[in-house]
């Protein structure tokens, strides 16, 4: 399988997550605290330097108050 970092789907997922965080008015620090992580974890995620696994996506969806199906539907709609 090809690497996924920087692909159109990865880029779209990151943009979606950043938009959700900002819509809720959360800083990276606040988001990281809710995840039980350091701010640098969120910075690497949001800059596209790391992948989001499915278990992380579920936790992120709870914190950022979205249905994980919404994110997956977005990714499926992007043709690679």
pLDDT digits (tens, 9 = 90+) for 14-64: 999 999 999 999 999 999 999 999 999 999 999 999 999 999 999 999 999
Phi, psi values for residue 66, rounded to 5°: -140, 160
Architecture of the CATH domain 8-77: Orthogonal Bundle (1.10)
pLDDT of residue 46: 97
Is residue 79's pLDDT more than 90? no
Question: pTM for this one?
Answer: 0.92
Domain ranges of the chain: 8-77
């Amino acid at each position: 399988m090809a690497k996924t970092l920087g692909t159109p789907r990865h880029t779209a997922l990151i943009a979606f997550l950043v938009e959700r965080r900002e819509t809720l008015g959360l800083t990276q620090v606040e988001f990281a605290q809710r995840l039980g992580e350091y701010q640098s974890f969120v910075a690497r995620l949001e800059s596209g330097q790391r992948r989001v696994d499915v278990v992380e996506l579920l936790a992120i969806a709870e914190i950022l108050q979205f249905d994980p199906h919404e994110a997956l539907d977005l990714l499926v709609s992007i043709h690679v």
